[in-house]
Amino acid sequence: MTGKKSSKTILVGARWILCALILLAMGLLTKPAIASSNRFYFASQYDWGSDRGFYVDVEDNSPDDTPCQLQSLKLILAVGDGKNWRFVSTVPKWTLGVSYRVKAVISPNSAGLWINDASVGQSVGGFVPAGGDLSVHDMPNWANGQADYILTEESFTIQSGAEKPLVMKFHTGQRPLPLVLFEPGIPAKHIPWKTASNQPLVIRIRFHINPVPGLKQCAPFIDRYGQCRYAHWPHKVHNNGDLKRGLQQEEQILHRWGMPPHTDPYGGDTASGWRLKATGFFRIVRRNGFFWLITPNGNPCFYRGVCSAPQLTWEATPITGREYLFQWLPPKTGPYAVAWGNGWGSEPGIHYLAFRTCNLIRKFGAADWQQKETQLTIQRLKVWGFSGDGKWDRIKGLPYVPVLGRAGVPILSRHPDIFDPAVRAKFRQVLASQISPHRNDPDVVGWSLGNEYDEIITTSEIQDILKMSGAVPAKRALVDYALQTIYHNDLPAMIKAWNLNAQTLDAVYNETINPPAADQEALRQYYADRYYHFIYKTVKSLDPNHLYFGFWIVPGWWQNQSDWDLIAKNCDVIGYDRYAMKFADPMFMKLVRSTDKPILCGEFSFPAWYDGLRGFGRYGVYATDDADSGRLYEKWTADAALNPYCVGICWFEYRNEPLTGRGPGHGPDLVYGEHYAFGVVDEADQPKWQLVDRMRKVNLIANALRLKATRTAGK
């Protein structure tokens, strides 16, 4: 997801993957968005390519960017007979504020559709079921356009022949409409279901259609503590006294739990039974087939980090143009002035507000809130069994995983011209300015540069470079590489393969070049290898004592698998991000084994969605609640600790994202950017105890789990 998630960098996809409001899986809702097409499947079990199966859905399209209109909403029953698809389609005279009953019947020789017991269409022909699970409340991720209605489902029933029917009821009243506006989508359900080919299949659906309310009609949405006014849960903060009482209760819990025993300041295990020489820096060793991160004190450590701590004044939410969404906004002068900030670089004049900062000032007082919260964060992370910080922020005195930037280095298309001596010199200067002050800092676990897809060399940028002037060093270097390596210095052969008019090498440099795809890929890999090698060599020359993690590659979010191999050659430890329900699957492990290098996960998470009842978005990898999030963390961390290649993991992130989005963006919408409950503490600085308790339990045994696995491997 995810990058990336910081005040400076956005995770795309990922990540992910910026949050976009999508169809309500209880029904169909869309807020103003770019797309103008909606589709929601009440039920589907089909294989489109083989013309098998069925689906019942509603579909709507707008001819332009205007909202889809209720009068164009289609109800469709699709049936496949193994050779062709048949459709029963109708556009009824829908009415807002009315409940509807839909029945679909699919028999071996015909199919029919009814609304409120009235037949709206029949289709004669066969039916061949498709295998796989039955999907209920499903929607394509592209079907997130505008609409002027909300469709909420009340019940769903499906029955094959005389078999026991599957009945589902939906308690839509638990989710007030204003909360639906934050995140219309709810999870699709995939249910084991066998449809018989020689028995009638009967589907019954009940749903209700309402108009979409305006935001101002529901405003304000956000209370003075950054929480949704329409959301209710135990321990929600209602006044300043709740903040202070929460702090008192937390202090008691932290005191009762105490600091973990047998742990050095960097998360190393002092009771492991073995210790190496203290060098003052983190390093890697391999023992009985297991890679280990060794702390500056010489102790083995399976690193557990939390990204973005302490996050005192970010992430913030854009305010300009939508002030009415908020019940209270602080003055821009006085104690709360520090909570305000200007927008992203491309948004001058757009004001952002960090409600978390206001809450910390209320909690600790305006005089020394930063120092007190920082010290509390240090205590929290240590008591909770974490080794230190992860990416994106740092606290002095805790280990951290800094991400270098390349701002100020000229770029060609997406990346610097690494073949230009002047650019290389500037690049080195930019890196030195960030690295040199921390060259001897034992808290630096290791350096990295950039994040995720931002540092992937893409085919499109190679194409851009090959269209540039022959004076561009990168273009000349690519042509030279192709001539020498691909065409073995046979210039006429290269000219012919590239369909050029040139007769000399100088003329080739100045032509607009569009080589065959295979050549473009070879040039892309060459550029990437030289780019990553320059950075690796430069970082290590500036600081030979610290590790280098690369750029947090995301398996699958790349040009192709060669990108993993390319960065693996140019780092000490492969730093990667992976948002997945499991620590590893066979494909990932095949990738890891192929390079036989240590790995460290810089970001993973299972943000709770709370069934949509708190206003947060639903991330691609999510938990149902804090307890579920903790359960998933516990399993993920234990699996990582037992993996011979993994030397550490970092949870993303310390605090929840703002409900109205962390931006960038401004205008009339309710959410801009991500708004997920990633945090181990919420916007009011309250720990999520059901999550934290499970985190602490596995954190405290992570080193022991790995030590035992290492000893077993050595026998």
531 and 558 in one domain? no
568 and 442 in one domain? no
126 within a domain of the structure (yes/no): yes
Domain boundary residue, one of 189, 213, 237: 213
406 within a domain of the structure (yes/no): no
Number of domains in the chain: 3
User: In 3D, which of 464, 458, 411, 647 has the Cα closest to residue 566?
Assistant: 458
pLDDT at 31: 36
77 and 130 in one domain? yes
What letter does residue 572 receive in the DSSP assignment? S
In percent, the amount of the chain with pLDDT more than 70 equals 93
In the block, tokens 């947060």 appear at: 616
573 and 508 in one domain? no
Residues in the chain: 715
610 within a domain of the structure (yes/no): yes
317 and 362 in one domain? yes
Q: What is the pLDDT of residues 523-582, one digit of tens each?
A: 999 999 999 999 999 999 999 999 999 999 999 999 999 999 999 999 999 999 999 999
455 and 537 in one domain? yes
557 and 509 in one domain? no
CATH code, domain carrying 612: 3.20.20.80
CATH code, domain carrying 149: 2.60.120
What one-letter code names the amino acid at 125? G
**Residue range(s) defining the domain that contains residue 469:** 421-548
299 and 189 in one domain? no
Half-sphere exposure of 295 (CA within 13 A, CB side): 25
Q: Are 204 and 103 spatial neighbours (Cβ–Cβ below 8 Å)?
A: yes
568 and 443 in one domain? no
557 and 542 in one domain? no
pLDDT at 30: 36
Q: What is the pLDDT of residues 231-255, one digit of tens each?
A: 999 999 999 999 999 999 999 999 9
383 within a domain of the structure (yes/no): yes
632 within a domain of the structure (yes/no): yes
DSSP helix/strand/coil, 638: helix
Can you list the residues of the chain whose pLDDT is less than 70? 1-36, 139-142, 144-145, 171-174, 185-186, 345-346
Antiparallel, parallel or unpaired: β 574-577 and 547-548: unpaired
DSSP helix/strand/coil, 47: strand
Domain boundary residue, one of 532, 548, 564: 548
Q: What is the pLDDT of residues 574-605, one digit of tens each?
A: 999 999 999 999 999 999 999 999 999 999 99
**Predicted TM-score (pTM) of this structure:** 0.89
Q: What is the pLDDT of residues 120-167, one digit of tens each?
A: 999 999 999 998 999 998 766 567 667 888 888 888 999 999 889 999
Domain boundary residue, one of 548, 568, 586: 548
Cα first-last separation, the chain: 40
232 within a domain of the structure (yes/no): no
98 and 115 in one domain? yes
- Residue 521 CA to residue 532 CA, distance in Å, equals 16
238 within a domain of the structure (yes/no): no
- Residue 432 CA to residue 430 CA, distance in Å, equals 6
431 and 544 in one domain? yes
